[in-house]
Amino acid sequence: MQSILKYTIIVFFAASCQNSGSTEPAGRDTPAVNVQKDTVIVPQPKPYSQLEFLKKETVAAAPGTKSVIFNSAGSKLYAMNLEGMSVYEFDQATRKVTREFKFTPTRGMGWDYNRSRPIVSFQEKPVEACLSHNDEILWISLHNAEGIVPIWVNDFTKNNGPASVEQKTKPVTVLYPGTAKRDSFRIPLIETGKTPKVISRTADSRYLLVSNWHSRNNSVLELSAAVYPYGKVISTIPVSAIPRGIAVDDINNKSYVAIMGGSTIVRVDNTTWKEDSILNVWSSPRHVVMDTSGHLFVSYNSLGTIACLEAGTGKTLFTAKTHAQPRTIVLSKNHQFIFVTCYTSDYVDVFKINSGNFEKVASLPCGGHPVGVDVFENDDVLEAWVCSYSNGAINIYSFKKK
């Protein structure tokens, strides 16, 4: 019985997507554990407090890979290929692509971020993603389609809706590398706002939040796995400037939205789905994640800095300089380490989170403008899977746990 208890535990912290955690009275080294409607039984790694870098591997993805996300068990990684207009499903153990979810391109208007102007592009460009309902549904934001789409990744029969329902849809073809097999279906497009980016959910898979870059608002969707199209917008929360990162606090029923176009984080009341308060922070907060002890961790894109904040007040507790343009951040499962992709400088920075400071563990070269990252862990090893935007590669950095 003791061995069963050692390797089996209900873990929901990672389920909120984009590593937006939940808070409870626990130490930073204690993962959040709770009874939720949406739970996945996964192994809990044994305790560790040090990381030693072992090796780097590189696998091919597709052009413009923007973000990556592991399922709860860590067995599958999904890579959102913005320019490739597809999603790759990788097997963690073999490092191989098992399936490609390929979108059919249609004309749309995009955005030139260097020149700050609209450009002719395609609608079906995956940006970020979130898994819900025990990893059955993969929600994907489409950069130029003004909405998000759900894909049932295991039961394809649920992707096609009833013929009687009037609903915008997008065709998807599933390719199986090395074989002639293919599947196809149409998935619903749920309109949220212009240039949707980050998607996060509540731990029970009841609600989904989407940050809409050019609409300057956040959409809240109520989800239902039993009713097509599986989600509907129930609230739109306006913000002062461009929003991006979202962290969900399921214990206190709050959400935190990083306003990358300004110097604030908007706190949302998850019972009314309205703005609760404004936290004044430093300039250009891009990504935000949360641990189980009431701390927010923020990447400040233009300042080359990460920070630990007190969630209740927004007070800065401590900071650290990073390489240029820190983008996505992710916490280790025990919340003692933070991984930071640094876009223009082509580095991945790794810090240990102490009680009052960040301690740098490693700065690892990562060519091709690294942007997205997620972590796999077992008892002995932690792997950081980092996608690079300009060269279509995923670099896997392995660390020995000590």
Cβ contacts of 91 within 8 Å, gap of 6 or more? 75, 76, 98
Task: Judge whether 120 and 110 are in contact, CB under 8 Å.
Answer: yes
pLDDT at res. 12: 38
How much is the pLDDT for 17?
Answer: 72
Phi, psi of 204 (to 5 degrees): -90, 5
Q: What is the mean pLDDT of the chain?
A: 91
Query: How confident is the model at residue 389, as a pLDDT?
Result: 96
Q: Is pLDDT at 402 greater than 90 in this prediction? A: yes
Across 363-377, average pLDDT: 98
What confidence tens digit (pLDDT) does each residue in 132-165 have? Answer: 999 999 999 999 999 999 999 999 999 999 988 8
Closest CA to 314 of 259, 364, 358: 259
Which pLDDT band, with edges at 50, 70 and 90, does 115 fall under?
Answer: confident
Q: pTM surpassing 0.85?
A: yes
CATH number at residue 53: 2.130.10.10
| Per-residue pLDDT at 117 | 92
H-helix or E-strand containing 6? helix 2-7
**Which pLDDT score, from 0 to 100, does residue 45 have?**
75
CA distances from 324 to 9, 265, 331, 359 (A): 38, 21, 20, 18
Q: Kindly compute the dihedral angle of the four CA atoms of residues 203, 218, 262, 270, in this order, to the nearest 10 degrees.
A: -40
Alpha helix (H) ranges present in 127-237?
none
Is residue 29 predicted with pLDDT exceeding 90?
A: no
Range of the domain at 383: 2-401
Q: Token pair for residue 365?
A: 């070269």
Q: What are the counts of helices (DSSP H) followed by strands (DSSP E) for the chain?
A: 1, 34
Q: Is the pLDDT of residue 18 over 60?
A: no
pLDDT at 164: 80
Q: What is the pLDDT of residues 335-349, one digit of tens each?
A: 999 999 999 999 999
The predicted pLDDT at position 42 comes to 63
Distances (CA, A) of 395 to 273, 304, 385: 38, 22, 6
- Asked whether the beta carbons of 87 and 78 are under 8 A apart, the reply is yes
Residue 373's region, left for phi above 0, alpha for psi from -120 to 50, else beta, is: beta
Does residue 38 surpass a pLDDT of 90?
no
Strand pairing partners for 115? Answer: none
pLDDT band at 6 (very low <50, low <70, confident <90, very high): very low
CB 188 within 8 A of CB 224: no
> CA-to-CA distance for 198 and 211, rounded, in angstroms?
6
Q: What percent of the chain has pLDDT over 70?
A: 90
Which two structure tokens, joined as six digits, stand for 62? 């597709």
pLDDT reading at 24 higher than 60: no
Supply 254's token pair.
Answer: 């709050």
| Amino acid 90: pLDDT | 98
Strand (E) positions, 314-380?
316-321, 326-331, 337-342, 347-353, 358-365, 370-377
**Strands, E, within 61-125: which ranges?**
65-70, 76-81, 86-91, 96-103, 107-112, 117-122
> Which pLDDT value is given to residue 32?
38
Instruction: Determine phi and psi for 158, rounding to 5 degrees.
Output: -85, -5
Please check whether residue 83 is in contact with residue 66, taking contact to mean a CB–CB distance below 8 angstroms: no
**Does residue 16 have a pLDDT over 90?**
no
What domain count does the chain have? 1
